[in-house]
Each structure stands twice: as C-alpha cells, then as structure tokens.
Amino acid sequence: MGVAWVEEALVAAIQAFLEKDKSAWDRLFRKSGPLSSLSAKIDLARLLGMTSNAISSDLHILREVRNEFAHSLFDKDNASLSFITPRIKDKCLALRCIRHESNTEPRTVFISACAMLNSDFYMHEFFGVPLVDGGRVTVYGE
C-alpha cells in the first residue's frame, strides 16, 4: 500500500509539471499506455529533473520490493516472504532517502521511505510550476 501511495503522489507531481492536455495525458498514462508502469513514471520523473539519481534508485527499490511481495502471493516457494527475508531486508536497508534515520528494522525503513517520498512528491505538486513556464523545485541556494 505504501508504494501505491508514493506512486499516486508521483503522478500528481508529474502532472503539475506538465502542460494540461487531457487527451495526451490519457493516452500516455492509461492502463496500456507507455507511462502506465511505475518504472516508466520513475524514469520520467528522473528525466524531468524531479528526482536525483539516489531518489530514482530508491523508488526503483520500493517498486521491486512491492513486486516481490505481490508475486509471492501466487508463488508457493515465496509464500513465507517477509521483510526479514535476506533479499527484501537488503533492499530495504539500501534505501538512501532515510539514511539520516538510525533505524535498522527493514519494515520500518520501508514504511519511512514511502512516507518521506510521498510527502516530497506532494511538495513537488504543491509548489511545482509547469516546466513550460520555467518552474522547477530546487533546494534553497542551489
């Protein structure tokens, strides 16, 4: 659920940065559209300059963890997948966006990363100025 929350905020932030054209938006983001996958949305945000390489990498990690849990529901070999499963734990502990926190519990790290990135994209949406108007969210002083 946390990754769905992040994806929703990411889409809203991307939309805030682009020109308003409902038919083009619908073609690109519909279920079978070229920007329907979370991976494509993450890459688009990176290309628009909305994320750093580190944040883009973290978003892909969140996506991978989400996918592993989703696929484990249908795979008897992965039925016991959890946040302490080594490959999931390692991915969670590799998240850089919350490294300043000293938490080492993978589930908490994952949830914290989702919360932080959701709020970051909300701020992009809130303050974002469409790229066509020269707007960009930056750190003060950069």
With beta carbons less than 8 A apart as the criterion, state whether 89 and 51 touch: no
Q: Which pLDDT value is given to residue 27? A: 93
3-state secondary structure 62-91: HHHHHHHHHHHCCCHHHCCCCCCCHHHHHH
Task: Fill in the amino acid letter for 86.
Answer: P
Q: What is the pTM of this model?
A: 0.83
- Per CATH, the number for 2-130 is 1.20.120
With beta carbons less than 8 A apart as the criterion, state whether 29 and 35 touch: yes
Read off the tokens for 80.
């016991």
Query: What residues does each domain of the chain span?
Result: 2-130
With beta carbons less than 8 A apart as the criterion, state whether 44 and 14 touch: yes
Rounded (to 5) percent helix, strand, coil in the chain = 65, 0, 35
pLDDT tens digits for 26-51?
A: 999 999 999 999 999 999 998 988 88
Q: Which pLDDT value is given to residue 58? A: 93
